[in-house]
Chains A and B, each alone.
Chain A
């Protein structure tokens, strides 16, 4: 699904996501030229369809979290099965969210950063006790530089900048 700003003939971008609230997600799209905004509001069935695809609306922004889909989707599970945000430092804590919400909560402004698969894997290799700190630092660096995506090269730049 794509949105086009007709007066500008320019594709719109996701600027904000909210929810789900009562089964509905709100996706705000903005025109980068005229700043006009429109919101797409999903019904519960549409929300669930997106969720069942195991993709993150707004982009994959956190490192891969093994079996996050199953862990976040099961209504009843064993106590020892961790919540999706307990393995990686990313995530919002809501049991619904590893599928859709985590991206929704992060994307607060146009041009928010996302992680490439390679970069996410590399981040996963950083020891757990400093991973959260490193992730925040790299994301902050990328936003300062205006990068829309964190790649391995961006991580290397950040590492040199911070002496990590």
Chain B
């Protein structure tokens, strides 16, 4: 009697062929993008999204063609931070035209599929019971579709804003093995650093992904009256932490109410208040990432042909 290995195919569904076709569509779409970079933390609430919005603005300000994918399927916020929530996605047979943010930043977020502020992401299905078993697969399939079916066009840089969770890195790498780099964001608090260190371990040791470096967010609070800086947290110095984990330290972003106010208004602080300390810090960090990604030629070309 025949065994499993004796029978070619799978009775007609060709599931493997379908999965390969999905991967091929993704590969073809991503081939037009020079650099793909994921921004993550592992810990929630550290300000990843606001940093992504402003890094995108910094690169777009330099003349690069930039896309942003909000990979936080259940808690999308980049549509708000980049002021595109009111836009309608254009669905075409070749792909979905993303929303256009400031300086032509191309944005795709689950937020653009949801009808109201109060609407959560709810999946249709025969059962909600046991959702913990299949919800992760639904989110991964959604992320793959966002990457592969969006008409990103030719981009110099695609930034992916990942949700909290150290497990996100292997999932993303399974979709995007050619990922050019990972930027990790932490707060200078012991709790944040505890989780972030695990993300660094997963990225460096488990999946061997290229880590571009560590950003410290909410580094200190500057008094509006006297200008004195006061630390908000009492964790390890993040530069030392980066050194201990053998990854580059990209810089500190001070706690600045202007940053969050701009995010609420849908305009990156880098564009609306470019002289704010946080904006200047983010510009310097973007420059370091650009150097690491060898985006300098593209930036120079953009300056020559504005």
Contacts and interface: CB of A to CB of B under 8 A. Distances in A.
A binds B: yes
Interface of A: 1-4, 6, 9, 11-14, 20, 22-24, 29, 44-45, 47-49, 51-60, 63-67, 69-70, 72-82, 86-88, 95-96, 103, 107, 114, 117, 124, 128
B141 A69 contact: yes
B123 A74 contact: yes
Contacts of A1: 10-11
Given A54-B22, A66-B145, 10 more contacts: A44-B126, A52-B137, A55-B13, A55-B18, A55-B19, A65-B93, A67-B96, A87-B91, A87-B92, A114-B14
B1 interface: yes
Nearest to A117: B21
Nearest to A53: B137
Given A29-B11, A52-B134, A66 B18 contact: no
B94 A56 contact: no
B138 interface: yes
B119 interface: yes
A126 B258 CA distance: 51
B15 interface: yes
B306 interface: no
A70 B122 CA distance: 11
A117 B145 CA distance: 16
A54 B141 contact: yes
Most central of B4, B12, B92, B127 by chain A CB within 10 Å: B12
A4 B91 contact: no
Given A52-B141, A55-B18, A96 B89 contact: no
Contact of A47 (B4, B89, B126): B126
A122 to B, nearest CB: 12
Contacts of A44: 125-127, 129
Contacts of B9: 11
A67 B145 contact: yes
B27 to A, nearest CB: 12
B10 to A, nearest CB: 6
B134 A66 contact: no
Interface string B65-97: 000000000000000000000001101111110
A81 B96 CA distance: 10
Most central of A1, A76, A96 by chain B CB within 10 Å: A76
B93 A87 contact: yes
Contacts of A103: 13
A76 B114 contact: yes
B226 interface: no
Contacts of B305: none
B94 A14 contact: no
B47 to A, nearest CB: 27
A18 to B, nearest CB: 14
